[in-house]
Copies of this chain bind each other. A is one copy, B any other.
Amino acid sequence: MTIQQKPTSAPCMAKQRLRVWLRMLKATKLVEATVRENLRVEFDTTLPRFDVLAALYRFEDGLKMSELSAALRVSNGNVTGIVERLVADGLVLRIPVAGDKRATLVRLSIKGRETFARMAEAHAGWVNGILQDLSDEDCEQAIGILETVGRSPKLTAKVDAND
C-alpha cells in the first residue's frame, strides 16, 4: 500500500522557508533591540520586566506565579527572580492565597499600573515607528501568514494555548 504523497515541498521550498525564517529572525531582532534600548534609556528597565508588567496589567486581579510563567511561556524559576526585583521596586505586590499556603498571587501596585501605562504607550509608538512602512494590506497579509507558523501538528514543541 502506497501512501498518498502531497506534492509537497520540493527541496527548493525548504530553502525558501529557511530564507523566510532568517528574515523573520532579523526583523524580530531589530525590533527587539530597539525596544530594549528604549526601555533602558527612557525607563531604566528591561524587556523581561516589561513583559511581566504587561501580563499583570492585563490580568488585573493578579496571577499565581505559575500562571504568570505560563502566560509568558518562560520557566518557573525565571519569573521568581524578575518578580523579586519588581517587588523591590515597588511595582508589584505579592499576596498570599487564602487556603493554599503553597501559592502566591502576584499583581501590580498602583505605582506599577501607572508606570506600565506610560511604558505601554511609548512602546506602541516605537513599534509603530519601526513598522511604519507596512501598509494596512501588508499587516493583514503578515498576520495571516504568521498565524500559520507552527500550525500543523508536527513535533513543534509543546507550546500552544491562549491568545
* Known interface pairs A25-B32, A130-B150; 5 further A-B residue pairs with C-beta atoms within 8 A, sorted by A's residue number: A14-B127, A20-B142, A25-B28, A30-B159, A142-B146
| Segment at the interface with B among A57-65, A111-119, A133-141 | A133-141
Contacts of A142 in B (CB 8 A): 20, 23-24, 142, 145-146
Indicate if A109 sits at the interface (CB-CB under 8 A): no
Cβ 8 A contact of A128, one of B13, B30, B73: B13
Cβ 8 A contact of A138, one of B30, B128, B145: B145
Q: How far is the CA of A150 from the CA of B139 in the complex (A)?
A: 14
Indicate if A147 sits at the interface (CB-CB under 8 A): yes
- Interface residues of chain A, those whose CB is within 8 Å of chain B, are 8-9, 13-21, 23-34, 37, 73, 124-125, 127-134, 136, 138-139, 141-143, 145-152, 154-157, 159
Contacts of A138 in B (CB 8 A): 20, 145, 148
Chain A residues touching B, majority SS: helix
Q: How far is the CA of A154 from the CA of B25 in the complex (A)?
A: 20
Do the beta carbons of B130 and A149 come within 8 Å of each other? yes
Contacts of A130 in B (CB 8 A): 149-150, 154, 156
Chain B residue with minimal CB distance to A32?
B25
> 25 A-B contacts, Cβ less than 8 Å apart?
A13-B136, A13-B139, A15-B124, A17-B134, A17-B139, A18-B127, A20-B131, A21-B31, A24-B24, A24-B28, A24-B31, A25-B31, A25-B32, A26-B146, A27-B150, A29-B73, A30-B156, A30-B157, A30-B159, A31-B150, A33-B73, A34-B150, A34-B156, A129-B155, A130-B154
